[in-house]
């Protein structure tokens, strides 16, 4: 099989929206939803360091027929190109009614990664990226965030796992990635992260959610950040206790900020002395009631 190497991303680092626009303009074909999604996934693969293997111009312009429900593309890493064989990964697209399912596998073997991309959510945003003026005007809204969400879904779910699998299989230096660290080191990182940061780390992936669910870890966070918390039960969900404490602390902080804003407004020159005196008396009675509790 004659295989032509199509160059991957250039050395100049572009932001995700502009790199996506660059690839969309280079690979312009039909305007079907499958083509739009596949071209965007292709952009993520190139930005991740992959190179497209093109078989006799089969997918030169990514012009996929609307009647074509499944499409496959092959990629490799530059370090794996040899004179005899080229090791590759396969990306397969399956077009459904309102989603495009993207599968990734090593070679032509079993599917090892899968993500689902909603057409209604992402196709209009991808089309908007091509029109720079419209996109810049709407950069503050959800359209801008959806571009990065698309990029994150494909990169975390497809390109990085496949790149790590190839590098591990052939002894190459893998991509810089938190998930490549040993489990013990990831636990150490969670131990020094604040409690709300641990909750955010749990949203990264299944492994981090599992590590961030450790009861002893949340007990440590309670002892560090909620020292006044007294729990007499032996079997307890420390994560739930920390969540309750954190919500109460956030509520107290919002109330404090509100009181400070009121205090500043009451000291403005436009407020009469009578109103300022009445406000101070009400604040004093409130403090006394809290002390009596």
pLDDT digits 0-9 by tens, 111-161? 678 999 999 888 888 887 776 555 555 555 567 778 888 998 998 889 988
The pTM of the full predicted model, rounded to 2 decimals, is: 0.63
Determine, yes or no, domain membership for 97.
yes
Q: Are residues 17 and 120 in the same domain?
A: yes
Instruction: Tell which residue, 223, 216, 179, 175, has the closest CA to residue 201.
Output: 179
Domain of 125, CATH number, reads 3.40.1000.30
Determine, yes or no, domain membership for 196.
no
Q: Provide the domain count of the chain.
A: 2
Determine, yes or no, domain membership for 244.
yes
Which among 178, 206, 241 is the end of a domain?
A: 178
Determine, yes or no, domain membership for 82.
yes
Q: Are residues 53 and 113 in the same domain?
A: yes
> For residue range 250-273, what is the model confidence (pLDDT) as tens digits?
887 777 776 666 666 666 666 666
Domain that holds residue 56: 4-178
Q: Are residues 172 and 56 in the same domain?
A: yes
**Which residue stretches of the chain have pLDDT < 50?**
1-4, 7-11, 56-59
Determine, yes or no, domain membership for 203.
no
Q: Are residues 28 and 131 in the same domain?
A: yes
Q: Are residues 150 and 218 in the same domain?
A: no
């Amino acid at each position: 099989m004659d295989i032509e190497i199509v160059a991957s991303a250039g050395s100049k680092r572009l932001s995700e929206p502009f790199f996506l626009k660059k690839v969309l303009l280079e690979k312009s074909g039909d305007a079907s939803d499958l083509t739009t999604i596949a071209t965007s996934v292709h952009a993520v693969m190139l930005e991740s360091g992959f190179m497209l293997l093109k078989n006799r111009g089969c997918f030169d312009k990514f012009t996929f027929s609307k009647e074509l429900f499944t499409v496959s593309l092959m990629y490799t890493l530059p370090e794996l190109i040899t004179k005899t064989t080229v090791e590759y990964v396969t990306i397969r697209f399956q077009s459904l009614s309102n989603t495009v399912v993207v599968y990734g596998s090593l070679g032509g073997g079993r599917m090892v990664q899968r993500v689902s991309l909603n057409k209604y959510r992402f196709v209009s945003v991808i089309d908007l990226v091509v029109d720079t003026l419209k996109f810049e005007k709407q950069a503050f809204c959800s359209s801008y965030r959806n571009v990065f969400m698309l990029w994150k879904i494909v990169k975390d779910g497809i390109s990085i796992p496949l790149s790590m699998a190839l590098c591990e299989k052939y002894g190459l230096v893998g991509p810089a990635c938190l998930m490549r660290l040993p489990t013990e080191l990831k636990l150490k990182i969670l131990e020094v992260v604040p409690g709300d940061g641990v909750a955010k780390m749990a949203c990264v992936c299944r492994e981090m959610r599992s590590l961030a669910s450790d009861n002893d870890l949340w007990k440590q966070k309670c002892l560090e950040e909620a020292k006044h918390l007294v729990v007499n039960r032996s079997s307890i969900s420390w994560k739930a206790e920390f969540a309750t404490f954190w919500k109460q602390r956030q509520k107290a902080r919002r109330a404090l900020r509100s009181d400070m804003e009121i205090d500043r407004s009451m000291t403005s020159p436009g407020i009469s002395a009578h109103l300022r005196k009445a406000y101070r008396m009400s604040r004093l009675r409130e403090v006394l009631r809290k002390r009596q509790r």
